[in-house]
């Protein structure tokens, strides 16, 4: 990892290791993939104004979230199917998060088990849940999260329907899951990945196997997960899960101030402003664009976080200046774990930490609490204007 300078370098290494069908799954969005571009452009269009003549000789990027201290304000978002890119990826990401003292959200579509996360990272692991058609499954998963000793449950609310991910469809990874011959032949050009596949076979949705049948093959489990993913998701689910879950309860995918206020009224502890990495609704605004309005709507009584488009440590600072308490990123650490396992994921977090530290010095902020809208200017119809307190 000595030659790796930034997240883009790890992205290239991940692309080299993976067959196109896998890499496209990580990179792809929905429809025309406008959302992917919008998420990253929002950070490019924001301007951060430095304040000099400030003593920044000692800098501290530690922060507190739900009463727990973390070493940096950037964690690992849930990314499903990790074992497709490197076997054991979910727990590798959890281990890297522990080493860096930041939170890791295990995907509801992970291969590793809730119970394993509880054993490895009880103080850093969060769990993401999707509503299942059979409510007893969701309720049992909540019970398992509690018994595993995890403190934070994340309900993802922005997947009412499977989106139109055309990259995957062109590769043959559509509803039929019948890969094209070209896709299969191209995969053979990636020997390290292919050897792993031959050794371990098709990955499972680990947390769902117990709800299917004993010794069910991976495809049967995947089909079952798909059949359970068409559950109507409403505010009644939020109320029910809040009743069942006594720990920190977070909604991921909130993009509207009124929805944030309603979540707050139902006792939700925090929200992650997110458009699912541009993978669900194309032409939706970026999370950064809607963040200030959401923060104004809920004030200081709810923890507001963000994910989507974070590729640099400076991006994390921009989001915090715009009102976020904390940020998450998904693709960068997925590149890292794909390229180099725990070492690769840890390298990404190290890069973010270094970039945050340098950027804090550059703008004149000695600690995270110093950040605020006084540092920001935004592009608005071609003109820059200040966003003051």
Task: Tell me which residues are annotated as active site.
Answer: 276
> Cβ contacts of residue 19 below 8 Å, gap of 6+?
183, 186, 187, 189, 190, 193, 194
Give the burial class of 195: count Cβ atoms within 10 A of its Cβ; 0-12 exposed, 13-18 middle, 19 or more buried.
Answer: exposed
> Cβ contacts of residue 182 below 8 Å, gap of 6+?
none
Closest CA to 272 of 121, 153, 120: 153
214/87 Cα distance (integer angstroms)? 22
279/75 Cα distance (integer angstroms)? 20
Contact 167, 24 (CB under 8 A): yes
Contact 231, 108 (CB under 8 A): no
Closest CA to 84 of 7, 212, 171: 171
Contact 269, 297 (CB under 8 A): no
307/107 Cα distance (integer angstroms)? 14
Taking CB atoms within 8 Å and a gap of at least 24, the contacts of 4-7 are 4/347, 4/351, 5/351, 6/312, 6/351, 7/311, 7/312, 7/332, 7/335, 7/336, 7/348, 7/351
Helix/strand/coil for 69: strand
Distance of CA 128 to the CA centre of its chain: 10
Contact 127, 105 (CB under 8 A): yes
Closest CA to 217 of 203, 228, 198: 203
What Cα–Cα distance (Å) separates residue 194 from each residue in 72, 189, 328, 343, 378? 36, 8, 30, 21, 46
What Cα–Cα distance (Å) separates residue 310 from each residue in 192, 365, 371? 29, 20, 17
Are β-strands 326-329 and 63-65 bridged in parallel, bridged antiparallel, or unpaired?
unpaired
């Amino acid at each position: 990892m000595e030659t790796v300078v930034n997240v883009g370098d790890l992205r290239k290494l991940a692309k080299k290791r993976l067959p196109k069908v896998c890499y496209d799954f990580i990179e792809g969005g929905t429809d025309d993939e406008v959302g992917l571009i919008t998420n990253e452009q929002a950070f490019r269009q924001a301007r951060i104004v430095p304040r000099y003549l400030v003593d920044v000789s000692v800098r501290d990027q530690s922060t507190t979230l739900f009463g727990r201290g973390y070493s940096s304000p950037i964690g690992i978002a849930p990314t499903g199917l990790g074992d497709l890119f490197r076997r054991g990826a979910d727990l590798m990401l959890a281990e890297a998060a522990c080493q860096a003292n930041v939170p890791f959200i295990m995907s509801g579509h992970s291969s590793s088990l809730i119970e394993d996360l509880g054993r490895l990272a009880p103080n850093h692991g969060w769990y993401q849940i999707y509503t299942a058609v059979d409510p007893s499954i969701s309720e049992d998963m909540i019970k398992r999260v509690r018994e595993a000793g995890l403190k934070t449950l994340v309900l993802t609310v922005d997947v009412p329907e499977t989106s139109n991910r055309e990259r995957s469809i062109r590769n043959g990874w559509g509803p039929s899951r019948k890969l094209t011959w070209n896709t299969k032949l191209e995969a053979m050009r990636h020997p390290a990945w292919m050897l792993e596949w031959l050794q371990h076979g098709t990955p499972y949705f680990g947390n769902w196997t117990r709800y299917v049948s004993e010794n069910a093959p991976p495809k049967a489990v995947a089909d079952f997960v798909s059949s359970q993913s068409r559950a109507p998701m409403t505010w009644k689910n939020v109320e029910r899960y809040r009743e069942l879950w006594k720990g920190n309860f977070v909604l991921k995918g909130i993009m509207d101030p009124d929805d944030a206020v309603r979540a707050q009224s139902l006792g939700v502890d925090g929200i992650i402003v997110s458009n699912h990495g541009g993978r669900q609704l194309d032409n939706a605004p970026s999370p950064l664009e809607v963040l200030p309005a959401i923060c104004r709507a809920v004030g200081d009584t709810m923890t507001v976080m963000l994910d989507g488009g974070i590729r640099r440590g400076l991006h994390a600072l921009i989001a915090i200046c715009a009102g976020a308490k904390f940020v998450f990123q998904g693709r960068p650490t997925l590149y890292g774990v794909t390229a180099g396992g725990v070492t690769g994921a840890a390298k990404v977090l190290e890069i973010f930490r270094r970039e945050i530290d340098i950027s804090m010095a550059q703008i004149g902020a000695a600690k995270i609490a110093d950040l605020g809208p006084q540092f920001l200017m935004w592009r608005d119809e071609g003109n820059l204007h200040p966003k003051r307190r």
